[in-house]
Amino acid sequence: MSGRIEEWWRHGRQRSLVEGTVSGSGGQPGCIASALMAARMLRFTTARLLRPRCRRLYHGCSDGAAACSVVGERVTVLTIDGGGIRGIIPGKVLEFLENELQQLDGPEARLADYFNYIAGTSTGGLITAMLAAPGAGGDGRRRPLFAAKEICPFYQEHGPRIFPQRWCKLASTVAAVWGPKYNGRYLRNMVREVLGEMTVGDTLTNVVIPTFDVRLLQPVIFSTYDAKHSPLKNALLSDVCIGTSAAPTYLPAHCFRTHDGAGETREYNLIDGGVAANNPTMVAMTMITEEMIAEEKARLFLAKPPEECGRFLLLSIGTGLASDEGLYTAEKCSRWGTLGWLRHRGMAPIIDIFMAGSSDMVDIHIGVKFQLLHIERNYLRIQEYQDYDPLKATAAAALDEATPENMRNLVGVGERMLEQQVTRVNVETGRYEKVSDEGSNADALIRMARQLSEERTARLQRRMGEVTAASACATGF
């Protein structure tokens, strides 16, 4: 399935720079291409859905969005942005949500029990694996390897060794010219030790993890669905996490091979998925829709696409603003050469720009589409906005500032993001604007926890009913 996306990307790169799809000089992915990839993907998905041969996703009601969100029928999706050590920020938000679910359904409740799909890029991909990878429960059942409350302590323990703060800013800037700032050895060993031989197909819920293959110059999307249908995409979860975390200039690219048992192999040469989709929401929605189409489930296909009936319940979490709005200006950038774009005041401008552009473009497309269909309450994006910016021009904005003080600051950023008012992006200004009648992000998560709990309860009841009916048929009653 994701092969279609890869084919589309290869074709799209042949178009003009005016269309925003051609890479920067040297064939490397440019900022424009990264920022506008989401728009291409949206049009790609729309074109797929409008083909005559494609049926439409069915939802149990046709009386409008408000009436159509039938409990037990929604597709629940969690997506997590990339951002290096700033993964602590969504970790704090997820801890709050899981705690609310535990208050409703008991202490054993885990996020993987409630979300049909969890998608993450870069550090978000690592969090995705932590939430969805199976571990042994106390009663022998397969349960998630990590609880959400363990994410922040995990980063605080391993972050300083993944990003050792050995050099001054000048020395690290010079080193970045000659190679990655960090050798990545500790990250690779730690991830392999934690995840072992688990593959993408072993996850407890569906995962979607974007990466970018530098040899093919195209994105490669790893998903549970693909892993179960294509052995060559059923890579070790550890390899996928290492690949999607290999941020250019920070960590080395990652190469590995997969085998299908019939003599076929595939080689992957991966870097950080953030160069293509730092906010993985659009990728996740595309993969989900493609999966539903491919499944050809009769009861799911009819006249309307899923969004029109409020079929999706979507939570997207950012990793805070990368830098102050005024940190970069045309006047400053016009004087930079290669070194200036790679390092400026301890930051990596080229990385900041394409990550921010990619993430915001996706948020704009998803937000506007949900607003157009009058189901904006089904989409919650939790991200820092400029008026309330504890990351502004501080060390907290750096992807790799893994000092104890900064990591404590990041925990505080996550807590303050919960307190800030629900916002939605303004298409014209690109700014996040407060939504007056929806309260804080914490209030919105409390409401979402109730929805997720109701959704899971309805699904479990339906399954029990199906089992009872099957037993009755088997016994002749």
Beta-ladder partners of 212: 219, 271
| Beta strands per DSSP E along 250-324 | 254-259, 265-271, 301-302, 312-317
**69, 122, 238, 359: which one is catalytic?**
122
Q: How many CA atoms lie within 13 A of 173 on its CB side?
A: 15
| Tokens 């994105």 -> residue | 219
Residue from 113, 202, 239, 272 carrying the catalytic annotation: 272
Q: How many CB atoms lie within 10 A of CB 342?
A: 19
Give phi and psi for 347, each to the nearest 5: -105, 170
Task: Answer for the pair 288, 351: CB distance below 8 angstroms, yes or no.
Answer: no
Active site residue 272: yes
CB 171 within 8 A of CB 181: no
Distance CA 405, CA 379 (A): 33
Q: What is the 3-state secondary structure (H, E, C) of 75-120?
A: EEEEEECCCHHHHHHHHHHHHHHHHHHHHHHCCCCCHHHCCCEEEE
Which stretch of DSSP H or E encloses residue 433?
strand 432-434
DSSP class of residue 327?
Answer: S
CA-based nearest residue to 89, from 444, 424, 412: 412
> Alpha-carbon dihedral of residues 438, 60, 295, 358, nearest 10 degrees?
-20
Active site residues: 122, 272
